[in-house]
């Protein structure tokens, strides 16, 4: 117990988390100023489970019926015929040795490599989410970001630090936390916890690990700002990030619903909003305030450097995603429509993009190995 207490005291050292000449007693709860309470960070975790429940209800009872009404199919039309041997091989079939494995299976099952490739193509298609599933996911995120941005802008538009960002540092750390900002923080942290959890069973995308790093960095950023009572600058970061995602997920939902022309228009709006909010406003307003203006007003401390490093990490991710977005815009102009997705599936391609006509022939083998060149 003494060891754990010593570790805790070391970790929560005022010299790390607070500016010079400030103590934990100074930022504890009192009648004059309501500071952030570090233990409140536990609330978003159970709240994330509630967010997942709300998401399930919205997707199942609102977005799924809407998608079906728009003509989206809820089931896959073709399935790979049952084959125990190929099913077992499919699970392991990744990497550079795929062709050799297919050759071995062809000899084992006495069927052509072409038939095996077609079966694998069908089997791979079974694991892909349906358009309806993707429509529901994008619609849910669009709804959340719209609510979050609207609520955030509503509560922040009259805040003094929204009009003058330098008020994020004046009289720091003795800045009063209002109830509306408390809920804004808790709601957003709960959402990002839910994204971190659901990412492992949602649609797999090419930027899976970038998004994972993004979610963890966002949670760490919000946690650091909360513990250090930097909720003012933190709330501005949240509202700047939310607005572009409304149009991104809205464009994807429209694409899945086959409203291509409307999708193109919304995606064009998204591109403009993204560049303005993430590449112009974020660095020139937020990063400038945290990296240049804050050190002239507040004495720096170790946790603040970590906080600012996380903000810079988000900027690096923004630049990377901007490159991908501009690539999609370029391809869209050449193709005449938005033919890409900023976060598309990441499964490896199978050896050949072949037709599915003789996939049923594979089922005739019934997964039975051959003997002496013939199937049993």
- With a cut of 60, say whether residue 345 has pLDDT above it: no
- With a cut of 60, say whether residue 104 has pLDDT above it: yes
pLDDT reported for residue 7: 81
Average pLDDT taken over every residue of the chain: 83
In the predicted model, what is the mean pLDDT of residues 250-274? 94
What percentage of the chain exceeds 90 in pLDDT?
Answer: 48
- With a cut of 70, say whether residue 357 has pLDDT above it: no
> Higher confidence at residue 311 or residue 345?
311
pLDDT reported for residue 360: 41
Sequence-distant (≥ 6) Cβ neighbours of residue 296 within 8 angstroms: none
> Higher confidence at residue 341 or residue 357?
341
pLDDT level of residue 83 (50, 70, 90 thresholds): confident
Backbone angles phi, psi at 240, to 5 degrees: -65, -35
> Higher confidence at residue 288 or residue 89?
288
User: CA torsion, points 289, 291, 297, 298, in degrees to nearest 10?
Assistant: 120
Residue of 299, 168, 172 lying closest to 237 (CA atoms): 168
- With a cut of 90, say whether residue 347 has pLDDT above it: no
Kindly report, residue by residue over 269-325, the tens digit of the pLDDT.
999 999 999 999 999 999 999 999 999 999 999 999 988 998 998 899 899 989 989
In this structure, what token pair is assigned to residue 112?
A: 């052509």
Kindly report, residue by residue over 187-220, the tens digit of the pLDDT.
999 999 999 988 887 766 666 777 788 788 889 8
> Higher confidence at residue 212 or residue 268?
268
> Higher confidence at residue 345 or residue 221?
221
What percentage of the chain exceeds 70 in pLDDT?
Answer: 82
pLDDT reported for residue 217: 80
Distance of alpha carbon 337 from alpha carbon 339, whole angstroms: 6
- With a cut of 50, say whether residue 363 has pLDDT above it: no
pTM of the model: 0.79
pLDDT reported for residue 77: 58
Kindly report, residue by residue over 30-79, the tens digit of the pLDDT.
667 889 999 999 999 999 999 999 999 999 999 999 999 999 977 665 66
In the predicted model, what is the mean pLDDT of residues 343-348? 38
> Higher confidence at residue 280 or residue 365?
280
Distance of alpha carbon 231 from alpha carbon 36, whole angstroms: 8
pLDDT reported for residue 310: 85
pLDDT level of residue 127 (50, 70, 90 thresholds): low
pLDDT reported for residue 330: 87
């Amino acid at each position: 117990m003494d060891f754990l207490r010593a570790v805790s005291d070391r970790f929560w050292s005022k010299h790390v988390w607070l500016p010079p000449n400030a103590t934990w007693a100074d930022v504890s709860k009192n009648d004059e100023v309501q500071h952030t309470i570090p233990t409140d960070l536990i609330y978003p975790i159970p709240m994330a489970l509630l967010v997942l429940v709300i998401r399930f209800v919205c997707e199942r009872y609102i977005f799924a019926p809407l998608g079906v009404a728009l003509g989206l199919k809820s089931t896959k039309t073709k399935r790979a015929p049952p084959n125990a041997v190929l099913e077992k091989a499919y699970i392991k079939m990744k990497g550079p040795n795929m062709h050799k494995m297919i050759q071995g299976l062809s000899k084992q099952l006495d069927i052509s490599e072409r038939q095996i490739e077609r079966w694998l193509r069908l089997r791979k298609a079974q694991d892909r989410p349906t358009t309806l599933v993707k429509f529901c996911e994008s619609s849910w995120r669009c709804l959340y970001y719209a609510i979050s941005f609207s609520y955030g802008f509503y509560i922040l538009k009259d805040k003094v630090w929204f009009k003058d960002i330098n008020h994020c540092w004046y009289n720091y750390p003795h800045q009063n936390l209002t109830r509306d900002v408390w809920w804004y923080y808790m709601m957003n942290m709960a959402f990002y916890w839910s994204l971190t959890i659901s990412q492992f069973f949602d649609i797999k995308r090419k930027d899976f690990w970038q998004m994972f790093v993004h979610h963890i960095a966002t949670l760490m950023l919000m946690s650091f700002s909360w513990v250090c009572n930097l909720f003012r600058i933190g709330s501005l970061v949240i509202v700047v990030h939310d607005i572009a995602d409304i149009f991104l997920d809205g464009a994807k939902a429209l694409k899945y619903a086959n409203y291509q022309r409307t999708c193109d228009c919304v995606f064009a709006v998204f591109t403009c909003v993204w560049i303005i909010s993430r590449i112009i406003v974020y660095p020139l307003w937020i990063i400038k305030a945290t990296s240049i203006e804050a050190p002239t007003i507040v004495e720096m401390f170790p946790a603040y450097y970590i906080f600012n490093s996380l903000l810079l990490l988000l900027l690096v991710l923004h630049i990377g995603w901007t490159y991908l977005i501009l690539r999609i815009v370029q391809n869209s102009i050449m193709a005449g429509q938005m033919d890409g997705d900023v976060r598309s599936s990441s499964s490896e391609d199978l050896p050949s993009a072949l037709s599915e006509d003789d996939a049923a022939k594979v089922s005739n083998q019934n997964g039975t190995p051959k003997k002496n060149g013939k199937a049993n």
